[in-house]
Amino acid sequence: MKLFKAICSSGELSRRKSIDAIQEAMVTVNGHLILDPFIDIQSEDDIRLDNKKIKYNIDLTTILLNKPSGYLSTKSDEKGRKTIFELVPKNPPLNHVGRLDKNTTGAILLTNDGNLSQFLMHPKNKIEKEYIAITDKYLSEKNINRLRKGIFIGSNQKGRAKIASQDLNKGRVEVSMILKQGKKNEIRRIFKFLDLNLISLKRIRIGEIKLSNLAEGSWRNLSKKELNFLSKIQS
């Protein structure tokens, strides 16, 4: 693990502030002053920030789950309904990054990296998320333009989306939608206010992390390329 990530995982500082602290000569490793945020450290290393020993989690894990319909994006449910945590390993303990509603399927990340989770969920970072919405008719050019600019979806909020494509498949229209916001039930509210029938909804991409052929209900570790993407966007 890189030194700055170890400091991040301790919860002491954000990613940016961790890098700044190292470069400002505030961090030692095993008694040695270190100015390079990107050196590799080991689990037994003694890391101190302003001479205060920090506890860090070197075993950061992030996985991608293909969520099936009918599962809640929560750790437990008082009504005994199924949750996504029945589908993923119990160790190490993970938290979900954002939510998909009960009937929405597809890509959801789970991680024990708190800083990554906060970064991905913060609206200002505008991480692209791509969905496939199944409906029974094409969106008009007028509605496509309205969505690009933003339409009122209630609660004093606007819904925005880029329509990447529309394809007819077995009598239904598959609409590829790209969003950079994270409003609750945003796509379902968009379809409601456009008076369109949303038959099903699936998220297929989060940034450069693609669902591809991952089976429904299955999970996988992120590839090196995907981990590098997450590291890059946080720098």
Q: Token pair of 15, please? A: 């990613």
Q: Which residues contact 54 (CB under 8 A, 6 or more apart)?
A: 6, 7, 10, 12, 47, 48
Q: 37 φ, ψ to 5°? A: -65, -15
**Greatest CA separation for the chain:** 68
Q: Which of 20, 45, 59, 101 is catalytic?
A: 101
Is 59 among the catalytic positions? no
Q: Which residues contact 165 (CB under 8 A, 6 or more apart)?
A: 174, 175, 176
- Alpha-carbon distance 56 to 9, whole Å? 6
Q: Are 47 and 28 in contact (CB under 8 A)?
A: yes
Give strand pairing partners of 152: 158
The residues carrying an active-site annotation are: 101
